[in-house]
Amino acid sequence: MAPSSALLLPLRLPALALAALLLCCAGCTSADSPPASLIAVAARDVEGGIVSEGDALYLPNVTACRDACASAPGCNLWIYCAAADGCMGSPGDYQRDLRKYRQCWLKYDKPTNRSAWPRSKGTKDQYTGWISGTTAAGVRDGSLPDVGYTRCYCSSSYIQNGYKFKGVCAKSSSGYGVSCYLEGSCNNPPQNGEDWCPSVQQCTTILDTDLDGKVLNDGDNTYVNSPEECCGRCTQTEWCNAWTWCSDPNGCNGGELFRFRQCWLKNADPTNPQPKGGYGNSTGWISGLRMAWMPKD
């Protein structure tokens, strides 16, 4: 384990800086970037014109929803409820609707760089249960990075004792809540240079992928209902910057039923993720990096 005396104050990365960082990977020595088709964002319900109603489209898994979008004329956004305890019906709801479980909504929205795209429905720190992705090419996340209560952005990179963190909030060094270092450009930075992070994190997810890393928890005995909840556990866990959740009720690791809903918390290099067995080869596992949306190519 890492020395526990060290302060851990990881950070949050503006989406554009992140995009630049990841794009550079095409020319550097890190592992291949994940294919755009595998990338989605947890705890996000994206806005758009409805191409197909989720009330009428229940699919067994998230990749099936993505594929449905890819083959539906006019669709460039998909939204899937992978949360076993259901998803929010509309912004501002306080309760999940179990009937939403496995609904797949297909939508269209015009990509624009005039405003945030894909546009998010609901508030930033709302546990929606939904996971969203796009089939549009060349997308950079237009959404703003999460801000703390003082509305300062967290800074973009941080290395503590050799462990890298990119764009993440993490367990506060003071032991209370979740915090991050602030960017120097904040107008009124708090005295200690920390800020509180939103309770809900919109984590980048990579479908059908089991990211490698130093395991930080007893994943065999950690069960949560949704990818965003697994990401939330990661936020609350010292050194965690990557996580893996089994989304498939038919089990993961080739059908091990008991794996469904398992949440593994890990420490990895978020700039150079190493998928076990390759991206897209670990059917049913959803892995997340503690970063915002990654660019499409």
Q: Which helix (H) or strand (E) holds 23?
A: helix 15-24
- The partner residues of 285 in beta bridges, in order of sequence, read 246
Pairing assessment for the beta strands 170-171 and 178-181 based on DSSP bridges? antiparallel
- Cβ-proximal residues to 30 (8 Å cutoff; 6+ apart), any chain: 271, 272
Q: Does residue 284 interact with ligand NAG by CB under 6 A? A: yes
Measured from the CB atom, is 114 or 191 closer to ligand NAG?
A: 114
From the CB of 92, what's the least distance to ligand NAG, in Å?
30
Give the DSSP letter of residue 254: T
- The partner residues of 281 in beta bridges, in order of sequence, read none
Helix (H/G/I), strand (E/B), else coil: 77: strand
Measured from the CB atom, is 161 or 281 closer to ligand NAG?
A: 281
Measured from the CB atom, is 183 or 248 closer to ligand NAG?
A: 248
Measured from the CB atom, is 173 or 250 closer to ligand NAG?
A: 250
Which of 89, 177, 254, 278 is close enough to bind ligand NAG by CB under 6 A? 278
- What is the residue-wise DSSP string for 174-201? TSSSEEEEBPTT-SS--TTSEEEPPSS-
Residue nearest to ligand NAG (CB): 278
From the CB of 160, what's the least distance to ligand NAG, in Å?
30
Q: Could you tell me which of 264, 266, 213 has the C-alpha nearest to residue 239?
A: 266
Q: Does residue 255 interact with ligand NAG by CB under 6 A? A: no
Calculate the alpha carbon distances from 55 to 1, 100, 111, 113, 157 in Å. Answer: 46, 8, 25, 31, 41
From the CB of 215, what's the least distance to ligand NAG, in Å?
20
User: How many Å apart are CA 181 and CA 195, to the nearest integer?
Assistant: 6
Q: Does residue 91 interact with ligand NAG by CB under 6 A? A: no
Q: Does residue 253 interact with ligand NAG by CB under 6 A? A: no
Q: Tokens at residue 159, please?
A: 């290395």
Per-residue mark of binding to ligand NAG, 106-145 (x: CB under 6 A): -------xx-------------------------------
Instruction: Considering only the stretches 23-31, 172-180, 217-225, 273-281, report the one whose residues sit in contact with ligand NAG under the rule CB under 6 A.
Output: 273-281
Q: Does residue 273 interact with ligand NAG by CB under 6 A? A: no
Which of 33, 37, 61, 201 is close enough to bind ligand NAG by CB under 6 A? 61
Contacting residues toward ligand NAG, per CB under 6 A: 60-61, 63-64, 113-114, 248, 250, 277-278, 281, 283-284
